[in-house]
Amino acid sequence: ELKVEQNPLFLSMQEGKNYTIYCNYSTTSDRLYWYRQDPGKSLESLFVLLSNGAVKQEGRLMASLDTKARLSTLHITAAVHDLSATYFCAVDDSGGSNYKLTFGKGTLLTVNP
Amino acid sequence: DTEVTQTPKHLVMGMTNKKSLKCEQHMGHRAMYWYKQKAKKPPELMFVYSYEKLSINESVPSRFSPECPNSSLLNLHLHALQPEDSALYLCASSQAHSEYYEQYFGPGTRLTVT
């Protein structure tokens, strides 16, 4: 059974600081996704990482994938309050046919002034 | 258009009621999904439709009945639900038979079972 572990589960940080969220998974998948969810809202796709060494950046967020270590990171640079949300990583272990994503438990990020 | 729409936004129903949730997308996606999400938890996959055929049922109780009438629409029929079924129900869609399956989520239906 595929396991996806995120840490930390809770992250409180000050504006302007940097931090990293980690996502470890137990399969050999090379497809990993990051989503953001604001309270009471739906999930918004942030990044799609499709190969070893993939790096994607959008604004203050940068995601990377190391398939050999089975690890993805979401790095936050100079955090601002608007980044407060829950961040989920999800691994696609479908083998190209069954469309199933397995989600981590999520990291609740709170950015304080 | 990268939008998935869901109706209703909120639904309160009794345990003896029958209701339906609706989901629609016009992105040409041929895979559609139903998820259940409890507060402070990740989404739990319930059903997957691929080319309008049910391809995954994650052992969901029969009081939840999915239906995919065409490639743009997905319904979830609800009957004799329990209070523990109260949750946010999310619909999503993605490409099928593609290199990857980035899923686009709808806004969700907040369901309360009384």
Query: pLDDT tier at B81 (50, 70, 90 boundaries)?
Result: very high
Q: What is the pLDDT, as a whole number, of residue A100?
A: 83
Tens digits of per-residue pLDDT, A56-82? 999 999 999 999 999 999 999 999 999
Q: Which pLDDT value is given to residue B2?
A: 65
> Mean pLDDT of successive 10-residue segments in chain A (113 residues)?
94 95 90 94 94 93 95 97 97 70 96 92
- Each residue of B12-26: pLDDT tens digit? 999 999 999 999 999
Residue in B103, B104, B109, B112 to test binding to A, most A beta-carbons within 10 Å: B103
From B41, B56, B108, residue closest to A100, measured CB to CB: B56
Pair type for strands B64-70 and B53-57: unpaired
Amino acid at B80: A
Q: Which residue of B has its CA nearest to A37?
A: B42
Ordered DSSP codes for B34-46: EEEE-TTS--EEE
- Residue A93: the pLDDT is 73
**Percentage of chain A lying above the pLDDT 90 cut:** 80
Per-residue pLDDT, A94:
63
Q: Contact A42/B90, CB-based, under 8 Å? A: yes
Q: Which of A33, A41, A42 shows the shortest C-beta gap to B102?
A: A33
Tell me the average pLDDT across B50-69: 95
Q: Which residue of A has its CA nearest to B34?
A: A100
Would the CB atoms of A100 and B48 count as touching at under 8 Å? yes
Q: What single string gives the DSSP state of each residue in B93-110?
A: EE-SSSS----EE---EE
- Cα gap B59→A56, rounded to integer Å: 36
